[in-house]
């Protein structure tokens, strides 16, 4: 029979397999040949971070896909339901969900493929007639379910086979910037008649620094741009886009020191006729996701210290759009080769716009740091490093199979934690009692943090190779005061020294307070206890973590009851 070039989407059913090995009936076809995988945009045979970068650049209008990295061309195409289309057809490997367009939903699926080292294969079939046969095959299980003795037996617990993104727990809070998908931000780079920038930048230059493509060779890496930083941290789930405007205010800066709304309205009105502000609404809720007003560093630091919050202009609209989150600050771009301060500071403030609180303490004398030591690096604390596992969990940047939950009824369990900056990133939750379905309760979060990619700046600052296991103590309950929904124990007041939204165990000023092979974490470790009625960490969790070997797949850790 004459071969025909027919492409078929072959759906991998491994994700649907039930626990334990089973025999299944299969159908075989003659002359199947795998010709690629969905999401392989650079034609290297796999779906990887490189493809995530290509798709992100395409969606950000930075570098559009071409036929070379977007399409496979064949004389005929066999659809997923068996329908055939004759003639030359273009099959888009970037259209992962097969809805005839490439958008954020394809990016999310690609991110899941990359995170789990799996992608839907493309097959070429050279026989028009299926040859029906019956065969049996052994299906590999995804979770070990051998009989467990709570006292003596350890079972290796793998991730759940569900690679869909979790719904962002942060969405239950009052916030303006979406943490999944596209977020569109306005930047007003403003100076004043009496307060000028040392080095002036055009709107186009500011826009490139804020929303430019990834550049690992940049002297400001990993803070070469807000967009690149967020894309790496979220594995492509969060796409920060926007536009910058250069503006000189009408009055001297002092007239705006205590009236940021006045400056916001002035900036919006100045560009309302020339710009379309409806484009800055990633979640399509009729509200501009966020507006950044940045001013020269020679301003009054007390008045213009970087901060974020709701604009408070409920009755004000520009192009029919309400103004959502307002971020202000004096984070001037130092030079074209040094934009790290600008990018890191506003990346931190955008985290607030997504709903995260500060992790540093407000009322603690000279020591405001919330998470100490090398293991304490976090963008919402020091603003010089990546988001940690707790932030990524609440922002919805994990798939369901990247979140393991310790079940004390199963006895001793062993997990492998992939590096936080790798495609195998995941975390383990150890709940205090029943885990809230939205993660708004008390629990430990365990992750293997590494010092590369978005954490490379802190590595260079400390001149060390510090990395390892770290354990967060989280109390993520929320409250609603009728106007604002927030984390009940976020930093401020008595929460600085008592019960807090986030702490780390072994929270010391020490040089290296990560855990490594052979370390044991139990109630004897500072901070590895639940809160008591006085909001102090004194209650024994009756759990022990033993850190195992570090391999190319990450750290193994064993958890057991005590």
Task: Please report whether residue 135 resides in a domain.
Answer: no
Instruction: Give pLDDT tens digits for 46-55.
Output: 788 778 878 8
Clarify whether residues 392 and 538 are in a common domain: yes
| Per-residue model confidence (pLDDT) at position 82 | 37
Domain that holds residue 392: 155-166+380-561
Clarify whether residues 393 and 349 are in a common domain: no
Instruction: Give pLDDT tens digits for 60-110.
Output: 766 777 655 555 444 333 333 333 434 434 457 888 877 667 877 778 778
503 close to 457: Cβ distance less than 8 angstroms: no
Instruction: Give pLDDT tens digits for 512-530.
Output: 899 999 999 999 999 999 9
| Per-residue model confidence (pLDDT) at position 130 | 38
Q: How confident is the model at residue 125 (pLDDT cuts 50, 70, 90)?
A: very low
Strands 155-156 vs 530-531: parallel, antiparallel or unpaired: unpaired
Task: Please report whether residue 138 resides in a domain.
Answer: no
| Per-residue model confidence (pLDDT) at position 155 | 41
| Per-residue model confidence (pLDDT) at position 513 | 92
Instruction: Give pLDDT tens digits for 145-164.
Output: 333 333 333 444 444 457 89
Clarify whether residues 162 and 216 are in a common domain: no
172 close to 485: Cβ distance less than 8 angstroms: yes
Q: Which residues contact 552 (CB under 8 A, 6 or more apart)?
A: none
The average pLDDT across 327-350 equals 95
Task: Please report whether residue 530 resides in a domain.
Answer: yes
Mean of the per-residue pLDDT values for the chain? Answer: 82
Task: Please report whether residue 234 resides in a domain.
Answer: yes
Q: How confident is the model at residue 140 (pLDDT cuts 50, 70, 90)?
A: very low
Task: Please report whether residue 140 resides in a domain.
Answer: no
Clarify whether residues 288 and 209 are in a common domain: yes
Identify the three-state secondary structure at position 49.
helix
| Per-residue model confidence (pLDDT) at position 57 | 75
Clarify whether residues 414 and 523 are in a common domain: yes
User: How many whole angstroms separate alpha carbon 100 and alpha carbon 91?
Assistant: 10
Clarify whether residues 343 and 384 are in a common domain: no
Domain final residue, candidates 318, 353, 388: 353
User: How many whole angstroms separate alpha carbon 325 and alpha carbon 9?
Assistant: 43
The average pLDDT across 438-461 equals 91
Domain final residue, candidates 353, 369, 393: 353
Clarify whether residues 191 and 320 are in a common domain: yes
| Per-residue model confidence (pLDDT) at position 68 | 55
Asked if the peptide bond before residue 222 counts as cis, ω within 30 degrees of 0, the response is yes
| Per-residue model confidence (pLDDT) at position 304 | 96
Q: What CATH number does residue 118 fall under?
A: 1.10.1330.10
Scanning the structure block, which residue is given the tokens 């299926």? Answer: 130
Question: Running DSSP on this structure, what letter comes out for residue 83?
Answer: -
Task: Please report whether residue 367 resides in a domain.
Answer: no
Clarify whether residues 159 and 205 are in a common domain: no
The answer on pLDDT for 451 being more than 60 is yes
515 close to 521: Cβ distance less than 8 angstroms: yes
Task: Please report whether residue 364 resides in a domain.
Answer: no
The average pLDDT across 382-387 equals 93
Of 395 and 127, which is predicted with more confidence? 395
Clarify whether residues 90 and 186 are in a common domain: no
Q: What percent of the chain has pLDDT over 70?
A: 79
User: How many whole angstroms separate alpha carbon 116 and alpha carbon 164?
Assistant: 11
Clarify whether residues 16 and 104 are in a common domain: yes
Clarify whether residues 294 and 440 are in a common domain: no
Domain final residue, candidates 337, 353, 369: 353
User: How many whole angstroms separate alpha carbon 88 and alpha carbon 434?
Assistant: 57
Tally of domains in the chain: 3
Task: Please report whether residue 146 resides in a domain.
Answer: no
| Per-residue model confidence (pLDDT) at position 70 | 57
Clarify whether residues 403 and 543 are in a common domain: yes
Pick from 400, 406, 411: nearest CA to 432:
406
């Amino acid at each position: 029979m004459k071969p025909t070039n027919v492409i078929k989407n072959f759906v991998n059913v491994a994700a649907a397999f039930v626990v334990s090995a089973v025999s299944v009936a299969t159908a075989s076809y003659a002359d199947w040949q795998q010709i690629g995988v969905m999401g392989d945009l650079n034609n290297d045979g796999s779906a990887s971070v490189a493809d995530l970068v290509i798709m992100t650049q395409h969606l950000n209008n930075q570098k559009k896909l071409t036929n070379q990295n977007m399409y496979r061309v064949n004389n005929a195409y066999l659809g997923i339901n068996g329908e055939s289309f004759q003639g030359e057809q273009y099959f888009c490997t970037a259209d992962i969900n097969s809805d005839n367009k490439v958008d954020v939903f394809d990016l999310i699926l690609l991110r899941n493929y990359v995170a789990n080292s799996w992608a839907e294969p493309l097959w070429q079939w050279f026989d028009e007639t299926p040859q029906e046969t019956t065969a049996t095959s052994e299906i590999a299980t995804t979770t070990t379910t051998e009989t467990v003795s709570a006292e003596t037996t350890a079972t290796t617990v793998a991730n759940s086979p569900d690679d869909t993104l979790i719904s962002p727990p942060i969405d239950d809070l009052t916030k303006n910037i979406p943490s999944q998908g596209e977020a569109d931000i306005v930047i007003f780079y403003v100076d004043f008649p009496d307060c000028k920038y040392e080095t002036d930048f055009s709107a186009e230059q500011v826009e490139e620094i804020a929303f430019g493509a990834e550049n690992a060779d940049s002297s400001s890496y990993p803070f070469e741009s807000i967009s690149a930083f967020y894309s790496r941290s979220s594995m492509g789930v969060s796409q920060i886009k926007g536009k910058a405007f250069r503006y000189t205010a009408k009055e001297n800066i002092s007239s705006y020191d205590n009236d940021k709304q006045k400056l916001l309205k002035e900036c919006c009105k100045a560009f309302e006729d020339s710009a379309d502000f409806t484009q800055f609404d990633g979640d399509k809720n009729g509200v501009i996701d966020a507006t950044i007003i940045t001013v020269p560093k020679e301003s009054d630091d007390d008045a213009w210290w970087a901060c974020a919050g709701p604009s408070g202009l409920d009755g004000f609209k520009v192009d029919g759009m309400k103004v959502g989150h307002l971020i202000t600050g004096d984070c001037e771009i130092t030079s074209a080769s040094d934009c790290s301060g600008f990018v890191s500071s506003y990346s931190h403030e955008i985290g607030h716009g997504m709903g995260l609180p500060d992790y540093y303490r407000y009322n603690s004398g000279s020591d405001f740091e919330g998470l100490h030591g090398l293991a304490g690096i976090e963008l919402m604390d020091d603003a010089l490093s990546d988001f940690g596992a707790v932030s990524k969990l609440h922002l919805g940047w994990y798939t369901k199979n990247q979140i393991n939950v310790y079940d004390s009824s199963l006895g001793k369990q062993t997990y492998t934690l992939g590096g936080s900056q790798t495609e195998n990133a995941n975390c383990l939750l150890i709940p205090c009692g029943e885990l809230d379905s939205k993660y708004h309760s008390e629990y430990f979060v365990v992750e293997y943090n590494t010092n590369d990619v978005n954490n490379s700046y802190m590595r260079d600052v400390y001149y060390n190779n510090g990395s390892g296991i770290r354990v967060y103590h989280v109390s993520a309950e929320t409250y609603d005061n009728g106007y604002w929904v927030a984390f009940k124990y976020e930093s401020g007041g008595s929460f600085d020294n008592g019960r807090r939204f986030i702490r780390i165990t072994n929270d010391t000023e020490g040089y290296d307070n990560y855990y490594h092979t052979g370390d044991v974490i139990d109630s004897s470790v500072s901070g590895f206890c639940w809160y008591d009625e006085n909001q102090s960490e004194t209650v024994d969790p009756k759990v022990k973590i033993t850190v195992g070997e570090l391999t190319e797949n990450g750290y193994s850790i064993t958890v057991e009851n005590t």
